[in-house]
Structure 1
Amino acid sequence: MPVDTTLAQYSDYAFASGFAIYVLALVLSVVDFATASVRNTVAADPRTRAVVTVGASTQDIPGRIEDRGSTRSLGERAGRAAIAVTIVALALNVTAIVLRGLATDRWPLGNLYEYALFLCAATVACWLIAVRQYPIRKLTVFVLAPVVVLLFIAAAVMYNDAAPVVPALRSYWIAIHVTIIVTASGILTFASTASLLHVIAVKARHNTRGPLAWIAGRLPSAELLDRVAYRTTIIGFPLYTIGIICGAIWAEAAWGRFWGWDPKETVSFIAWVLYAAYLHARATNGWKDLRTSWINVAALTTTLFNMFAVNFVVSGLHSYAGLN
């Protein structure tokens, strides 16, 4: 079936518009974070003690009734605007993906460019859900910064014209395996980012000066960051596991074997082991210190290596992302 060039062009327009709005949201989130006041007071209410900490605004506490007579600060207005603008950008991000699929009459995950768009959408969607559950609005900058960088790389390096997929991807499994994997990767990316910030927050307790201390002073509590990372990983890891299983089933149908230790398969398995080790350590030994967070950060590093190094450098059975 020929490609609908009009829809493909509209997809590119939606991507460009979404990228510009993501950048605007990032600027607003920087203002929110940079102007945040550093607080050391702890709420008397035991329910809020776990979430009111250095740099955490009491206006972000779920269930708190805001004083209608109070005037919001510049940072808070910017932070709330960043969330609203991010929702618009996400809608355009998803629109770009959908139009890409309609233009080519296929599932829009046929190359690395489309994978990057889907991964960014999954990460931002996970973030928007999490920010409604936890008082972590100040983390917006740490979510949007990598999203903007990845979208820039996608446009500059990964972009491919809308076209039919290669024969290896002409299967209904692409809609199952790849969608689950990329969704799980977006969730786990956010979880690992929270673990990295947990490391920064804990390290800053022993070093009250320097850039890390400045950042930590505006973050939510280390305990809250650790809890968010753990609960998010609990959701993302089962999806990641299902995605790997579906990939093995697809591999058996396409290549005659469930597992062949292809570079992408191998690195994906290493990431799976690291995420499993993180959850196992938390569940069995009750670790809540830097050791578990470093495991989650290592898993993120492995995932990024799988996306960039494996796709750009290594050749294998999965080298059909439009880069070789």
Structure 2
Amino acid sequence: MSALSDQLVTFAILTYLVAMISHAVEFALGNARKVAVAAPARELVGAGVGGAGGSVDEPATPSVPERPDRSTGRAVLAGRIAAWLTVLGAALHLGAVVTRGIAAERMPWGNMYEFVLTVTWIGAAAWLVVLWKQPSLRRLGLFLTLVMVLLLAFAELKLYVQVVPLMPALQSYWFIIHVSTIIFSSGIFLLGVVPAAAYLMRAGWEQGRRSFPYTLARRLPAAAGLERLTFTLHAFAFPIFTFAVIAGAIWAEAAWGRAWGWDPKETWAFISWVVYAGYLHARATPSVKRSVATWIAVVGFLTVLMNLFGVNFFFTGLHSYAGV
């Protein structure tokens, strides 16, 4: 089962990669150009006054219907292929998580490799739900699949460890409660940063900026819709993340005799909580520009990445038993 899980991860990465390429093709061709199809001009000859030397009316304006350029149809096809490939990639991804858990005979969250594997699947699954609800947002799949490829490849190359039994310190029912909610909220935050970054690019394009990466944004959905999606995802994930932090403190009290000790993981979790709370507060404050609030959300995800990777690579603490 462990070997099967490893193979499924590889196949999932390749599938996400092909989906990303298909989304890139959709971007390249999806300019919705129109081609004029000229109709033959017709002359309307009048019955002249008095017979000879009759006047000739002005030629009628030729009818010029428009049809979409074939590149637009190919772009739609590429986008649909990308969406279905993302579904396939998520299915392979889920298979990798499940078989890893079967091989370990526990929930597959015992180390950083398994944690990243599950967080990224939550992000992909949440994206498919959003895509099902709002198909017009499909072009965001380019950025989502890019994130999937990068994080999964990093997990395979740098975080991979063999299946091992769960550490004694983690053998508690709080393991499922705390880690599952952290994983779920982190996966939604992972998805949330995609429309946040897209909004910042699209808003810049709508304001007249024409330098890269704003030129990429001219084929993205409208900025207002991207901003609303960003807020919806973060407003949904934040209470779950808050519960996860509280559950972690309760577990720490039971395991270590204190609820809070400024361990690096605890500290960065608190920093992430403060930043995301700041984003939601800024988003609810009319005097704060939406772009400023969205930048706070992006910074929040950077703190999540720091807690996920930076703390484990550069610091040691009570959470170091999770391994990398």
Tell me the TM-score normalised to structure 2 length. Answer: 0.84
**Runs of 4+ residues deviating >3 angstroms:** 205-208, 284-288
Task: Look up the match of 1:23.
Answer: 17
- The answer (yes or no) to whether the contact 2:185–2:241 under 8 Å persists in 1 is yes
Q: 1:187 and 2:173 equivalent?
A: no
- The percentage of counterpart residues that share the same residue type is 40
Over 3 Å counting, the alpha-carbon distance change for 1:106 and 1:286 in structure 2 is: farther
Within the candidate set 20, 26, 39, 1:32 is matched to 26
Over 3 Å counting, the alpha-carbon distance change for 1:285 and 1:207 in structure 2 is: closer
- The answer (yes or no) to whether the contact 1:8–1:99 under 8 Å persists in 2 is yes
Task: Look up the match of 1:268.
Answer: 269
Q: 1:122 and 2:122 equivalent?
A: yes
- For 2:168, give the aligned amino acid: P
- The answer (yes or no) to whether the contact 1:28–1:79 under 8 Å persists in 2 is yes
State the Cα deviation string for residues 205-252 of structure 1 (Å, max 9, x = none): 344422223211011111111000011111111111111111111111
Corresponding residue SS for 1:217: helix
Task: Look up the match of 1:242.
Answer: 243
- For 2:6, give the aligned amino acid: D
Alpha-carbon distance in structure 1 between the residues aligned to 2:22 and 2:71: 18
- For 1:213, give the aligned amino acid: Y
Give ranges in structure 2 of 5+ residues lacking alignment: 34-69
Task: Look up the match of 1:205.
Answer: 206
Q: 1:163 and 2:164 equivalent?
A: yes
Deviation at 1:286, TM superposition (A): 6.8
Alpha-carbon distance in structure 2 between the residues aligned to 1:33 and 1:169: 46
Over 3 Å counting, the alpha-carbon distance change for 1:202 and 1:38 in structure 2 is: farther
Deviation at 1:137, TM superposition (A): 0.5
State the Cα deviation string for residues 56-102 of structure 1 (Å, max 9, x = none): xxxxxxxxxxxxxx996111111111111111111111111111111
State the Cα deviation string for residues 262-283 of structure 1 (Å, max 9, x = none): 1111111111111111112223
Alpha-carbon distance in structure 1 between the residues aligned to 2:175 and 2:10: 26
Moved more, 204-213 or 113-122: 204-213
- The answer (yes or no) to whether the contact 1:193–1:297 under 8 Å persists in 2 is no
Give ranges in structure 1 of 5+ residues lacking alignment: 1-6, 40-69
Alpha-carbon distance in structure 2 between the residues aligned to 1:209 and 1:280: 31
Corresponding residue SS for 1:115: helix
Alpha-carbon distance in structure 2 between the residues aligned to 1:322 and 1:281: 36
- For 2:29, give the aligned amino acid: T
Alpha-carbon distance in structure 2 between the residues aligned to 1:263 and 1:84: 40
Tell me the TM-score normalised to structure 1 length. Answer: 0.84
Which has the higher relative contact order, 1 or 2, with Cα contacts under 8 A spaced 6 or more apart? 1
Q: 1:252 and 2:246 equivalent?
A: no
- The answer (yes or no) to whether the contact 2:112–2:159 under 8 Å persists in 1 is yes
Aligned length: 287
Task: Look up the match of 1:224.
Answer: 225
Q: 1:78 and 2:72 equivalent?
A: no
- The answer (yes or no) to whether the contact 1:107–1:174 under 8 Å persists in 2 is no
Alpha-carbon distance in structure 2 between the residues aligned to 1:276 and 1:107: 30
Over 3 Å counting, the alpha-carbon distance change for 1:209 and 1:38 in structure 2 is: farther
Moved more, 191-200 or 270-279: 191-200
Looking at CA atoms only, which structure, 1 or 2, has the larger radius of gyration?
2
What's the RMSD between the two structures over aligned residues? 1.8
Alpha-carbon distance in structure 1 between the residues aligned to 2:163 and 2:238: 32
Moved more, 208-217 or 83-92: 208-217
